[in-house]
């Protein structure tokens, strides 16, 4: 019984002739297993169905037969023709049942090869998924570190801003305290000199030719009553010295009002309307026309 050639086996299994010829040629005509391996590895190649042109002088399916003929002995000296008989037996055409058996064995072999290939591809896919997850975790860690660094920088910046604001408030408080101390010393000396002057005898003033007294002098106020309307509509009222700067009112609002910490605001007079600037903060209340009383409104900056 003659075995099917590799090309015939592939055709019996239902492979396209062009693909079968390519598989036999590309595998070096080494056997059915090598040809099947080549087909499974290259079945998705873009040029798998392009016509195959065999090299000149080479006819597929004849190489194996020529090898068999070269290896067949011509007989021995004793006239033994057993090899000739075996050769004739092997060259007998295969029956349909023999072909089906051989094709069945080859199909089983192919199923085994395909199962091995699927298992190999599954293992490769699992490995790729592991690498993808690992890279995703590393990327997430990098993003988290960047976010943590940004949050840390923002927190440091806020701490610096709060510290600078606190120091600015402290400087204003110290300036107000110095101004009050200077005014206390100044007005204290003036009070003593006034007391000394009052102890001296009062001389009668000569009468004016017209018989009328001197014109009344304008009253000088040394204090100012300030009412402040806050952002929520509530009001607070307190008394300041006439020579205190407007910054003292601002600090008082920050310390006693319900303005959120860190909320910057502006002061204005409603009538006549006037918005006070940073330059106005250093001017005395008297110079700004806020004596003896005034109403100020707090607005968001």
What are the boundaries of each domain within the chain?
Answer: 6-42, 101-182, 223-300
The pTM score is 0.32
Look-up: residue for tokens 């008082």?
252
Strands 265-270 and 235-241, how do they pair? unpaired
How many other C-beta atoms are found inside a 10 Å radius of the C-beta of residue 19? 18
Q: What is d(CA 21, CA 7) in angstroms, rounded to the nearest whole number? A: 7
- Mark 134-150 as b/e (b = at least 16 C-beta within 10 Å): eeeeeeeeeeeeeeeee
Task: Walk along the chain (301 residues) in steps of 10 and give the mean pLDDT of each run.
Answer: 72 82 85 84 83 64 45 44 49 66 76 83 91 91 91 90 89 89 76 49 50 64 93 92 93 86 87 91 93 93 82
Q: Answer whether 23's CB lies under 8 Å from 113's CB.
A: no
What's the pLDDT score for residue 31? 83
Q: Answer whether 114's CB lies under 8 Å from 33's CB.
A: no
What's the pLDDT score for residue 217? 66
What's the pLDDT score for residue 73? 45
Burial class (CB in 10 A: 0-12, 13-18, 19+), 236: middle
What's the pLDDT score for residue 77? 41
What's the pLDDT score for residue 215? 62
Would you give the distance in Å from CA 222 to the centre of its chain? 61
CATH top class, domain 223-300: alpha beta
What's the pLDDT score for residue 146? 93
Two tokens, residue 114: 């395909």
What's the pLDDT score for residue 220? 84
Give me the count of residues in the chain: 301
What's the pLDDT score for residue 78? 46
Q: What is d(CA 89, CA 93) in angstroms, rounded to the nearest whole number? A: 9
Closest CA to 14 of 39, 51, 42: 39
What's the pLDDT score for residue 187? 79
Q: What is d(CA 15, CA 7) in angstroms, rounded to the nearest whole number? A: 10
What's the pLDDT score for residue 61? 47
What's the pLDDT score for residue 201? 53
């Amino acid at each position: 019984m003659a075995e099917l050639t590799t090309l015939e086996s592939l055709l019996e299994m239902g492979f396209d002739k062009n693909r079968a010829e390519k598989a036999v040629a590309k595998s070096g005509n080494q056997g059915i297993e090598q040809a099947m391996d080549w087909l499974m590895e290259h079945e998705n190649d873009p040029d798998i169905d392009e016509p195959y042109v065999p090299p000149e002088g080479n006819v597929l399916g004849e190489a194996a037969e020529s090898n068999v003929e070269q290896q067949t002995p011509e007989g021995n000296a004793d006239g033994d023709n057993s090899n000739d008989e075996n050769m004739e037996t092997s060259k007998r055409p295969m029956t349909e049942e023999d072909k089906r058996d051989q094709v069945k064995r080859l199909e089983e072999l192919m199923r085994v090869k395909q199962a091995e290939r699927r298992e190999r591809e599954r293992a490769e896919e699992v490995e790729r998924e592991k690498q993808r997850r690992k890279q995703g975790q590393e990327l997430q860690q990098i993003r988290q570190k960047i976010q943590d660094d940004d949050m840390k920088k923002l927190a440091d910046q806020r701490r610096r801003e709060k510290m600078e604001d606190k120091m600015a408030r402290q400087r204003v408080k110290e300036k107000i305290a110095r101004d009050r101390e200077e005014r206390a010393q100044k007005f204290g000396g003036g009070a003593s000199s006034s007391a000394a002057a009052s102890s001296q005898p009062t001389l009668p003033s000569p009468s004016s030719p017209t018989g009328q007294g001197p014109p009344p002098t304008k009253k000088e106020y040394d204090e100012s009553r300030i009412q402040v309307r806050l952002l929520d509509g509530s009001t607070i009222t307190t008394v300041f010295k006439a020579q205190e700067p407007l910054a003292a009112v601002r600090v008082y609002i920050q310390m006693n009002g319900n303005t959120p910490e860190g909320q910057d605001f502006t002061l204005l007079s409603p009538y006549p309307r006037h918005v006070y600037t940073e330059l106005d903060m250093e001017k005395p209340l008297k110079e700004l026309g806020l004596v003896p009383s005034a109403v100020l409104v707090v607005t968001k900056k």
